[in-house]
Structure 1
Amino acid sequence: MLLGLFLPGLVLAADTLAVIYPEAPPPYKQVFDQIVEGIEARHTDRLLRYPLEKNYSRTYLLSQLEADRVDMVVTLGRRGYSLIGELSGKYPLVSGALPLTPANTVPGVSLIADPDTLFSQLRNLSPTTQRIFVLFTDKSRWMVELAQKSAAKKGFELKAQSVNSLSDAVRAYQAILDGAQAETDAIWLPLDKVTSNETVILPMLLREAWDRRLVLFSSKPSHVKRGTLFSIYPNNQQSGERLAEMVKELYLGRAAPGVEPSRSQNVGVNLRTAVHLGLEYSPSLTRSFYRTFPQP
Structure 2
Amino acid sequence: MAFLCLLINTLLISTLLSQNAVAANDTTAPIKTTVILPIATGAAKMIYDEVISGIASHPELEVSTIAISSKEDIAAVEEKIKANQSQLIIAVGNRSYKLARALTNDILIIAGGISGKPNGIPTVSLTGDPAPAFKELKHIAPHIKNIRLVYNEEINGWWYARAQKIAADYDLKIIGYPATNMKDGVKLYEQLLKDATPKTSAVWIPLRSVVPSKTILPLLLEKAWSKKLAVISNNPSHTKLGGFVAVYPEHKKMGGQLAQFATLHFKGEDIDRIVGTENLNFAINLRTSSHIGIRLNAKERARFDKIFPTQR
- Fold in common (TM above 0.5): yes
Counterpart contact for 1:190–1:196, Cα < 8 Å: no
The answer as to 2:283 corresponding to 1:278 is no
* Alignment counterpart, residue 62 of structure 2, candidates 46, 65, 75: 46
Q: Which residue of 2 aligns with 1:62?
A: 78
Offset of residue 222 of structure 1? 2.6
SS at match of 1:42: coil
Q: CA-to-partner distance for each residue in 1:123-178, whole Å, 9 max, x for gaps?
A: 12212111222222333322211111121221112222223444444444444434
For residue 58 of structure 1, report the CA deviation from its aligned partner. Answer: 2.6
Q: What's the Cα RMSD here?
A: 2.3
**8 Å contact kept, 1:100–1:112:** no
Structure number with greater CO (CA < 8 Å, separation at least 6) is: 1
Task: Give the counterpart of 2:49 among 11, 25, 33.
Answer: 33
- Give the direction of change, closer, same or farther, for the CA distance of 1:54–1:184 in structure 2 (3 Å limit): closer
Q: In structure 2, what is the Cα distance between the partners aligned to 1:93 and 1:192?
A: 22
Match of 2:36 among 7, 12, 20: 20
The higher radius of gyration belongs to 2
Structure 1 residue identity aligned to 2:209:
K
CA distance in 1, matches of 2:144, 2:119: 34
Deviation at 1:79, TM superposition (A): 3.1
- What is residue 267 of structure 2 aligned with on the other side? 252
Quote the Cα distance in structure 2 between the aligned partners of 1:277 and 1:244. Answer: 40
State whether structure 2 residue 87 is matched by structure 1 residue 80.
Answer: no
Q: TM-score, length-normalised on structure 2?
A: 0.81
Letter in 1 for 2:125: S
The alignment's TM-score, normalised by the length of structure 1, stands at 0.85
Q: Is the counterpart of residue 234 in structure 1 residue 285 in structure 2?
A: no
Q: Quote the offset at 1:105 in angstroms.
A: 2.5
Which structure has greater helix proportion? 2
Task: Report the alpha carbon displacement of residue 185 of structure 1 after superposing the two structures with TM.
Answer: 1.9
Q: Per the alignment, do residues 44 and 192 of structure 1 end up closer, same or farther by CA in structure 2, a change over 3 Å counting?
A: closer
Q: Which residue of 1 aligns with 2:129?
A: 114
Q: In 2, are the aligned partners of 1:232 and 1:264 still within 8 Å (CA)?
A: no
* Alpha-carbon separation, structure 2, partners of 1:182 and 1:54: 45
Q: What 5-or-longer segments of structure 2 have no aligned partner?
A: 1-28
Matched, 1:91 2:107: yes
169-178 or 115-124, larger mean C-alpha shift: 169-178
**1:20 partner letter:** I
Rounded to whole Å, the distance in 2 between the matches of 1:63 and 1:228 is: 46
Structure 1 residue 34, shift from structure 2 partner: 0.4
C-alpha distance 16-175 of structure 1, shift in aligned 2 (>3 A): closer
Contact 1:189–1:195 (Cα < 8 Å) also in 2: no
Identical-pair percentage: 27
Structure 2 CA distance for partners of 1:65 and 1:243, relative to 1, 3 Å:
same
| Counterpart Cα distance in 2 of 1:131 and 1:254 | 34
> What runs of 5+ residues in structure 1 fail to find an aligned partner?
1-12
Q: Distance in 2 between matches of 1:216 and 1:179?
A: 14
1:54 Cα offset (Å): 4.2
Structure 1's 56 and 183: CA in aligned 2 closer, same or farther, altered over 3 A? closer
Residue type of the partner of 1:163?
A: A
The number of aligned residues is 282
Letter in structure 2 aligned against 1:187: V
| Pair 277,109 (structure 1): closer, same or farther in 2 beyond 3 Å | same
Contact 1:34 1:240 in 2 (8 A): yes
Matched, 1:160 2:170: no
**Distance change >3 Å, CA 265–CA 285, structure 1 → 2:** farther
CA distance in 1, matches of 2:232, 2:123: 25
2-structure distance, mates of 1:257, 1:31: 25
Q: Distance in 2 between matches of 1:59 and 1:192?
A: 31
- How many Å separate the matches in 1 of 2:213 and 2:290? 26
CA distance in 2, matches of 1:260, 1:192: 15
Q: Is the 8 A contact 1:87 1:93 kept in 2?
A: no
Q: 1:64 to 1:180 in 2, by over 3 A?
A: closer
Q: State the alpha-carbon separation in 2 of the partners of residues 62 and 83 from structure 1.
A: 11
Q: Secondary structure at the match of 1:69?
A: coil
Distance 1:62 1:195, change over 3 A: closer
Partner of 2:152: 137
